[in-house]
Structure 1
Amino acid sequence: MARGKVQMRRIENATSRQVTFSKRRTGLLKKAYELSVLCDAEVAVIIFSQKGRLYEFSSTSEIRKTIDRYRRSTNDAATYQASMEQYILRLKQETTDMERKIELLEVSLRKLSGQCLGSCSMDEIQEIGDQLERSLSSIRERKAQLLNDQIQQLQAKERSLKEENAKLLAKCLANPGQSTTHPRATAIHSRSSRSTDGETRLFIGLAES
C-alpha cells in the first residue's frame, strides 16, 4: 500500500511525535554521514529534542572546529557585503557629482554661445565677455604661429630650390656637352645658349664707317 503524504505540521500526539523524532533524527544523521564520506564534505549537524537533549554529528574530530569555520565564513561574508555596499554608495555619489559638473558645464557653454543670458547679472556678463576675449586672444596667437611656421617652411623650400638650381646651372656651364644627361640641366643649358647667341648676334654685321 502506498504511503500517504505527510502534512508538514506539528504532530499533536506526544507518542507519535517522539517516534517520528527518533526515526527522522536517525535518518538525518545517517544522511549527514553519507554526504561527508561520499562527497568528502565537512558536515556538522546539531539537534536539540523537545526536552532539550542534544544530538550531534561532525565529520571532523571536533564539531567546534566546524562551528568556528562557519563563524569565520559568515564574518567574511558580512565584511564583504559591507564593503560592497560602501563601494556602491561611493559610486553613486561620484555619479551624482559628475552629473552636477556636466550640468554646470552645459550651462556655461550655453552662456558662452550667447544663450540663457537673461538670468545673468552684470558681473557675470562681464566675466563671460572677458573669458571670450581671452579665448579669442589665444586663438589669434595660435593662428599667427601656424602662419609663421608655414611661411618659414616655404622660405626654406625656396632657398633649397634656389641652391639646387644654382648647382645645376654651374654644372651645365662647366660641362656643356653633358647637359643632356639631366632634363633640368638641358633646359638651363638651352636658356644659357640662347642668351649667348643673342649676345653674339649683337656683334654680327658690317662695321660702322
Structure 2
Amino acid sequence: MAREKIKIRKIDNATARQVTFSKRRRGLFKKAVELAILCDAEVGLIVFSATGKFFDFSTSSMKEIIDRYSMHSKNLITAGDLPSLDLQVENGSLTIMRKQVAEATRQLRNMRGEDLNGLTMQELQKIEKSLETGLSRVLRKKGEQIVEQINDLRKKGIQLMEENTKLRNQVYCPFMFSLSPSSLIALFGPGCVALVSE
C-alpha cells in the first residue's frame, strides 16, 4: 500500500511543528552528508528553527565555505555588471525603435496640424503634399463607395418594381374583368384600361 502524500503547509500545533522540524532537520542533514560523500561535494548547511535555535553542518570549515560562497557571489555580480554583446545589440535596437516611434508620432501630430511651429517652408510643403495625396485617395475611395451604393440602390429599385408589377398582376387579374372601364380608371388610373384591353 502506497504512502499517502501530506499537503505541505504550516503546521498549526506548536508541539507537532517542533517534532516535525526535528525529524525533517535530521533527514536534511543526513541527505547533506550523503551528497558530500557520494559526489565529493563541499556542503555547508545552516538552519534556524522557529524558536531561533541555530543548527549547522559542513563537510569542512563553515567559515571557509561561507568565504568561498562570498567570493563566488562577488564574481557573479562583477560579471553581471558588464552587459553582454546580445544585451548591447538589443539596447541599440531598442534605441533605434524608440527614435522611429518618436519620429512617427511627430509626423502624425504634424499631419493633424499640431506642433507646426519651428518647421521650415520645405517641411510644411512636404506635409501639405502628403495631406493632398491622402485626401485625393480618400475622395477617390469615397466616390467608389458612393457609386457602389447607387448601383445597389438601382438594383433594389428594379427588384421592387418587378415585385410590384407581379403583385399588381396578381391583384388585378381576379376581379379586373368584372369591372367597367370607368370603374377601373377610377380605381387604378388610366393605364389600367390599356392593360385590360391587351
Shorter-chain TM range is 0.3 to 0.5
The structure with the largest alpha-carbon Rg is: 1
Q: Tell me the TM-score normalised to structure 2 length.
A: 0.47
TM-score between both structures, scaled by the size of structure 1: 0.45
